[in-house]
Amino acid sequence: MQVNQSTRDPAGSTRSGTLFAFAAYGLWGFMPIYFLVLAPAGPFEIVAWRVLFSVIFCALIILMLRRWGTVRRLLRDRRTMLTLGLAGVLVFLNWQVYVIAVVSGRVNEAALGYFINPIVTILIGVIVLREKLRPVQWMAVAVSAIAVIVLAVNYGAFPWISLALAFSFGLYGLVKKRVGPRVDALTGLAVETAWLTPIAIVQLVFVGATTGVVFGTAGVANTVLLAAAGIVTSVPLLLFAAAARRLPLVIIGFVQYLTPVLQFLIGTFIMHEAMPLERWIGFSLVWLALVVLSTDMVLHARSVRRASPLPG
């Protein structure tokens, strides 16, 4: 009889899951540097190649793993296919806004979006899934709302990049949760990006007709890096899927903060983005909300474990 690895060696499974999680969120955290070295390619061209080469990369892996049967079965499931199409649109919006933020020197705004993403995810759960919040969770949501108001009023501009990233990724997570039991990470990513292929092609045509396509014209290194965008997109998602199968959500919830922390450090100390007092206040309020939320999450998890009957 074959024994599941997590049952045979839960400590080893936790260690490997933690490594996968740190690798996934670390790669996402360093992503701004990667997109910056793709210059002179613009954000719309970068995302278009990102989609097209992601499709190719996923198709090659599916071919090597001989999993076309899984894809064919999925193609016959119209509802799941349409749901994955919606997921593709949401992740496309997330990618496009994120790359625009990086290329235009607004990495800290992107980092803020991923800092408030857990709060937005909770809010989506309340609005869409009618979930009930504990009082401390409501407090975290309220503090985050105050932070957004502070940034919008004092900084003089509505933080649309931050909110667009947070809500697009939050809604993407909601859609993926609906199809999660029926679709594995690799097949889901392949179908999502396949849905986006026509959009990517139209985007490249538009870029070619306006500023001109950079791919193949800015040297071998630039061409290789643009082509590698598909791998850079796919690998962290696959690592995350491996981590999610091995780790409890509490650990995943803490590790996910690695991404915006790295982005914030890159934006502040490498790209030297402006951080006036009002922006520090806004960020500090968001960090306070995350401390409140994380503390509540840990205490609630402990209380649930204590209340659960012992096995046997």
Burial class (CB in 10 A: 0-12, 13-18, 19+), 189: buried
Average pLDDT over residues 69-89: 91
Listed residue (146, 143, 172) closest to 159, CA to CA: 146
In the DSSP assignment, the letter for residue 275 is -
Average pLDDT over residues 235-262: 81
In degrees, rounded to 5, the angle at the alpha carbon of residue 169 between the alpha carbons of residues 164 and 170 is 100
Give the model confidence (pLDDT) of 139-163 as tens digits.
Answer: 888 888 888 888 877 666 778 999 9
Domain boundaries, the chain: 5-303
Task: Please give the residue that has the higher pLDDT: either 1 or 114.
Answer: 114
SS percent in the chain: helix, strand, coil, step 5 = 80, 0, 20
Q: What are phi and psi of 214, to 5 degrees?
A: -85, -30
The amino acid sitting at 217 is: T
Q: 33 pLDDT band (50/70/90 cuts)?
A: very high
Q: 52 pLDDT band (50/70/90 cuts)?
A: very high
Listed residue (287, 90, 253) closest to 170, CA to CA: 90
Give the model confidence (pLDDT) of 208-231 as tens digits.
Answer: 999 999 999 999 999 999 999 989
Average pLDDT over residues 101-114: 92
How many H helices and E strands in the chain? 15, 0
CA gap 252, 22 in Å, rounded: 9
- Answer yes or no: is pLDDT of 6 > 90: no
Average pLDDT over residues 58-62: 92
Average pLDDT over residues 266-284: 90
| pLDDT at site 23 | 93
In the DSSP assignment, the letter for residue 158 is -
Q: 239 pLDDT band (50/70/90 cuts)?
A: confident
- Answer yes or no: is pLDDT of 4 > 70: no
| pLDDT at site 10 | 64
Task: Please give the residue that has the higher pLDDT: either 97 or 144.
Answer: 97
- Answer yes or no: is pLDDT of 312 > 60: no
| pLDDT at site 250 | 63
- Looking at the chain, the whole-number percentage of residues with pLDDT higher than 90 is 46
- Answer yes or no: is pLDDT of 18 > 90: no
Please provide the average confidence, as pLDDT, over all residues in the chain.
Answer: 86
Burial class (CB in 10 A: 0-12, 13-18, 19+), 132: exposed
